[in-house]
Amino acid sequence: MLHVAVIGSGTMGNGIAHVFAQHGFSVTLIDISQPALDKALSTIGKNLDRQVTKGGLSEDDKTATLGRITTRTSIAEGVTNAQLVVEAATENVDLKLQIFRDLDLYAPQGAILASNTSSISITRIAAVTRRAEQVIGMHFMNPVPVMKLVEVIRGYATSDAVTEQVMDIARQLGKTPTEVNDYPGFVANRILMPMINEAIYSLFEGVAGVEEIDTVMKLGMAHPMGPLQLADFIGLDVCLAILRVLHDGLGNPKYAPCPLLVNMVMAGRLGVKSGEGFYTHAPGSKDLVVASRFQK
């Protein structure tokens, strides 16, 4: 089994580390904050407990999974023996470019460098390294332990061999890899984000309320959750960042983010992560309550 390093211990990073470790890979989880790493390990433990309760995992499997994960607060120390690195840091271009510059310095020469970016160009990321043929996108869906899709994004220079190896690794994780080319938003977010943006415009223009918009999409289109609830779950700041990548990269005004979304992000109403977006999100509660600003 490959040794895998995962950079970033937030929701996506700890989920990625969880899945790799559960499937027998040794994992180094890297973050600049030790408290963040401790929180990530606690989250992984709770998610494994849930799997045990549901009968999908034994207590021994849980113990073995946690035993395969080590933590580091330094990229230089954490990637020394990595054969695959999966970057899952915040969706920020400058941050990702700096991480990949560091990875080019410290990761072994033959290591594959993957990004979990949901929209940023893999070609642009690869260009700051001296191993562009070994740089690829490995876009997991949230929640990682549950969702089957991995969007595998080929940069301009990504080699056939690296692409096939990453596709095979995704299959070893029990995922379904889908190969796409490197254009803004790839496939998942090029289709999803305009839908979410249009839902926000529908609210902004008074076409319907929050619950009504989500109900139409859930009951009429068989979506498991409505677009406004999903936006809260993803993070409104993340939605805005992806829409800006689409707008800048494709130059089409149809991708321009709704002014309501821009204002909500500026006001710190980011969805689940801040406790309020289109809905309020009380810790531990699954009740959907429309935010007071949008109540009739």
Residues of the domain holding 44? 3-181
Which residues are catalytic, by number? 118, 139, 151, 189
What pLDDT shows up at residue 101?
98
Q: Do 154 and 194 sit in the same domain of this protein?
A: no
What pLDDT shows up at residue 287?
86
73 in a labelled binding site? no
What does pTM read for this prediction?
Answer: 0.92
What pLDDT shows up at residue 284?
81
What pLDDT shows up at residue 76?
97
12 in a labelled binding site? yes
11 in a labelled binding site? yes
The residue among 181, 197, 225 that closes a domain is 181
Query: In this predicted model, what pLDDT tens digit does every residue of 59-88 receive, in sequence order?
Result: 999 999 999 999 999 999 999 999 999 999
Tally the domains of the chain.
Answer: 2
What pLDDT shows up at residue 296?
80
Ordered alpha helix ranges (H), the chain? 11-22, 34-53, 59-67, 75-78, 93-106, 122-126, 160-172, 188-204, 210-215, 221, 227-234, 236-250, 259-266
71 in a labelled binding site? no
Q: Do 94 and 17 sit in the same domain of this protein?
A: yes
The residue among 181, 197, 218 that closes a domain is 181
Sites in the chain below the pLDDT cut of 50: none
Q: DSSP string covering 163-178, please?
A: HHHHHHHHHHTT-EEE
